[in-house]
Amino acid sequence: MSAAEKKALEKKSKSIHAIQSELENTNRIALSVDCVIFGFDENKLKVLLIRSDLKKYSGKWSLLGDLVFPKEDLDDAAYRILKQRTGLSDVYLEQVHTFGAVDRHPAGRVVTVTYCSLINVQHHKINILDNELHWHDVQTVKDLAFDHQQIFDTCLKQLQKRVQEHPLGFNLLPKKFSLRDLQNLYEAILDVKMDRRNFRKKFFTMDLLIDLNEMEQDAPHRPGKLYKFNFEKYEKKQKKWVGIDF
Partner DNA sequence: GCAAAAGTGTTGGAAATACACCCATGT
Partner DNA sequence: ACATGGGTGTATTTCCAACACTTTTGC
Q: Given candidates 4, 220, 232, 236, which one binds DNA under the rule CB under 7 A?
A: 220
Q: Given candidates 83, 100, 122, 175, which one binds its own copies under the rule CB under 8 A?
A: 100
How many CB atoms are located within 10 Å of the residue 30 CB? Answer: 13
Interface mask (CB under 7 A) for DNA, residues 167-196, using x and -?
-----------xxx--------------xx
Asked if 132 and 50 count as a contact pair (C-beta separation under 8 A), the reply is yes
d(CA 132, CA 130): 5
Of 22-30, 38-46, 136-144, 211-219, the segment contacting its own copies by CB under 8 A is 22-30
d(CA 38, CA 47): 5
CB of 25 to DNA, least distance (A): 54
Determine the residue type at 110. V
The distance between the two most distant Cα atoms of the chain, rounded to a whole number of Å, is 83
Interface mask (CB under 8 A) for its own copies, residues 172-211, using x and -?
--------------x---x-x---------x---x-----
Asked if 137 and 45 count as a contact pair (C-beta separation under 8 A), the reply is yes
Of the candidates 33, 23, 38, the one whose C-alpha atom is nearest the C-alpha of residue 139 is 38
Interface mask (CB under 8 A) for its own copies, residues 63-92, using x and -?
----xxxxxxxxx-x---------------
The answer to whether residue 224 forms part of the interface with DNA (CB under 7 A) is: yes
